[in-house]
Amino acid sequence: MKLEFPGGSWKNYELLDSGNYEKLERFGGVVMARPEPKALWDKSLTEADWARLCHTRFVPGAGFGKAGKEDSGTWERLKKMDDQWYIRYDGGPKFKLRLGLTSFKHVGVFPEQAPNWEYIYAHTAALVSKAKAEGAPAPKVLNLFAYTGAASLAAKAAGADVTHLDSVRQVVTWARTNMEESRLDGIRWVVEDALKFAKRELKRGNKYQGIILDPPAYGHGPDGEKWKLDELLFGLLKTVAGILAPNDSFMVLNLYSNGYSATLGETLVKEAFRLGGKAGAPYELESGELALMDSFGKALPLSIFVRLAR
């Protein structure tokens, strides 16, 4: 099992401190404090230090932590700042992301996902290179539960034919802005329920060379479809197994649910893709945790990943 952190080349993001169920982060020139239930230890800086550094602090609402309102609350402004601002990602893929204070604790990017962006970019670039050498079309990459699109931008920056899907129209519009600000184009935008779309693609016989999944614990599709991770994830993975190309392909699964481990995620993928003990095309399967390291050396694990390449 691997433990991965964002690379040191990303200067626009920094986890300054963590503890007492909060994290202190710098996004470009904006410093903010947000709730973090996994930060069970003490803060290294004092409360006065946090107050001095902060531009804004998220204040949880009455329903915070409950299904459907897990991240609800308001932002308390402590210093003058813009409602929206941009940061750059300067790893292998290079792109811009618009950030903003939402009615939830999210701001438009999950920084711990940077290692996944690097993986997507590297594997897509290799597939693009092979396709060009063979005179074949660009590889197709499908990003499900795609949010504001950093993973989509990583695949597009490498030259893929990208389909970006999310059930929330506003975040798809946000992702389009990120594409345009990054001077990229050609991403296909879909506002749809992820499982419904994947099943339709399976019926049509469509295949993708890359599939990215970052499902929430709970959610709703554009037509009110209910999503509950525990009940629907394995079925989604089995459907995805049917639309991922059998060779020269990759899949990235990311999970935030507190009750999930990398071992559980790997077993789910093995069973959904029928990898265990059967002869067939060679594959690489890896799993682990994505984490952030604060400036005092405290590692904050935030999600688990499973990656399949074949």
pLDDT 10s digits, 48-89: 999 999 999 999 876 555 555 556 789 999 999 999 999 999
Residue 275: which H helix or E strand, with range?
A: none
- 94 plus 116 within the same structural domain: no
Residue 117, in any domain of the structure: yes
- 54 plus 178 within the same structural domain: no
Prediction pTM value: 0.94
For residues 149-173, average pLDDT: 97
Q: Where are the alpha helices (DSSP H) in 28-168?
A: 47-53, 114-134, 150-157
- 154 plus 205 within the same structural domain: yes
What is the rounded CA–CA span in Å between residue 213 and residue 158? 18
- 75 plus 149 within the same structural domain: no
- DSSP state string for 28-40: TTEEEEEE-TT--
- Boundary of a domain, candidates 100, 122, 140: 100
- Model confidence at 268, pLDDT cuts 50, 70, 90, reads very high
- DSSP state string for 54-69: -SEEEEE-TTTTSTT-
- 131 plus 42 within the same structural domain: no
Q: pLDDT per residue over 192-232, tens digit each? A: 999 999 999 999 999 999 999 999 887 777 877 777 888 99
- 253 plus 281 within the same structural domain: yes
Q: Which two structure tokens, joined as six digits, stand for 191?
A: 């506002």
What is the rounded CA–CA span in Å between residue 246 and residue 242? 9
State the pLDDT at residue 26: 98
- 154 plus 183 within the same structural domain: yes
pLDDT at 4 over 70: yes
Q: Report CA Rg, the chain.
A: 19
Which of 179, 122, 170 minimizes the C-alpha distance to 149? 179
State the pLDDT at residue 104: 83
The CATH number of the domain holding residue 85 is: 2.60.40.1180
- DSSP state string for 258-284: TT--HHHHHHHHHHHTT-TT--SS--E
- 27 plus 59 within the same structural domain: yes
- 174 plus 302 within the same structural domain: yes
State the pLDDT at residue 181: 98
Q: How many domains does the chain have?
A: 2
Residue 237, in any domain of the structure: yes
- 68 plus 153 within the same structural domain: no
What is the rounded CA–CA span in Å between residue 32 and residue 26? 6
Domain that residue 41 falls in: 2-100
- 7 plus 57 within the same structural domain: yes
Residue 68, in any domain of the structure: yes
- 219 plus 124 within the same structural domain: yes
Residue 182: which H helix or E strand, with range?
A: none
- Boundary of a domain, candidates 71, 100, 129: 100
The CATH number of the domain holding residue 161 is: 3.40.50.150
What is the rounded CA–CA span in Å between residue 228 and residue 38? 22
Residue 106, in any domain of the structure: no
Residue 77: which H helix or E strand, with range?
A: strand 73-77
Q: Which two structure tokens, joined as six digits, stand for 278?
A: 């059967």
Report the mean per-residue pLDDT for the chain.
93
